[in-house]
Amino acid sequence: MIGPDEYHGSSAPGLDDNAYTNVTAAWVLARTLDLVRSLPQVRRDELRERTGLQESELVRWDEVSRKLRVAFHDGVISQFAGYEALAELDWDAYRARYGDIRRLDRILEAEGDTANRYRASKQADVLMLGYLFSPTELRQVFARLGYELDDALWTRTVDYYLRRTSHGSPLSGLVHGWVLARARRADAWTYVEEVLAGDVADVQGGTTQEGIHLGAMAGTLDLVQRGLTGLETRNGALWLDPVPLPQLSEYGFSLRYQGHVGITVQVRAGDLRISAPASQRSPIDIRLPTTTLSLAPGETCSLPLHDR
């Protein structure tokens, strides 16, 4: 297989046990099983008849979703099996020599070398897991595979790959900003600002004239709405876990959830305020890390936030 970072595995025979690929595959299989098993029996029978799906296949999917391998080295998650055998790059020397090393692959090629032999990534690979999954969900997937993923292991992994990423993609800063926000670190905003400036400042030197990075622009909005607030819809509830950032004195937005149109979420220094518009709808189940509440239509709730 080829992992997301694009520096490794592009030549045959590719990579073994890329962590991002194996973990996401395990998650997809597990969620598919949950969906199939949640169907009423009559719907399951219809699905089986239409697709030819056999019960033995479900058993096999469950087995595979628990046995995919994740490698580790030096107390962190390995990007892929054998990653620790790659050479270390002298990042300080390359930054001193070239300044901007976003296109590290081209720099090394010009020197007759290749990024393929170094512990270097173009963009997030392992850390994409922290972009796609909340900390709770990521721990659950690792547990399904038989591994314990605690905060210390994930923090070491984040630090390890941050030091070894050239950010050669305009989306790299966005993903790392999200990962750092979820790791509850204020330096997430540094990456967010870089993404926001990507087209305005043409940070990659000539790409803006070829077209704006609409995905990066939309991603920064999504980061504020879901990343910084910890917004999730899970188990019939609206989950929030905001990240107080000193660079933003206040931010907020509105959303639609379970038929409620115009729910507003506002985060200020030390305070989370959420309001539901008046309607005949049922109350909304709101869950925070230390609090669970029911918000009725027409109500506003203000809750204190604590830096962590």
Q: What is the mean pLDDT of each run of 10 residues along the chain (308 residues)?
A: 83 85 97 93 93 93 97 97 95 93 92 93 94 90 97 95 89 86 74 74 64 77 83 88 76 90 88 91 90 91 74
Q: Which residues contact 111 (CB under 8 A, 6 or more apart)?
A: none
pLDDT score, position 282: 92
| Angle 291-297-303 from CA coordinates, rounded to 5° | 30
C-alpha–C-alpha distance, residues 217 and 221, integer Å: 7
Which residue in the list 6, 137, 193, 299 is annotated as catalytic?
6
Measuring CA to CA, how many Å separate 201 from each of 17, 106, 217?
Answer: 38, 21, 14
* 6 labelled catalytic: yes
Structure tokens at 176: 């790392």
What is the reported pTM? 0.82
Dist. CA 94–CA 107, nearest whole Å: 9
Residue 195: the pLDDT is: 76
Tokens 């890329």 label which residue? 18
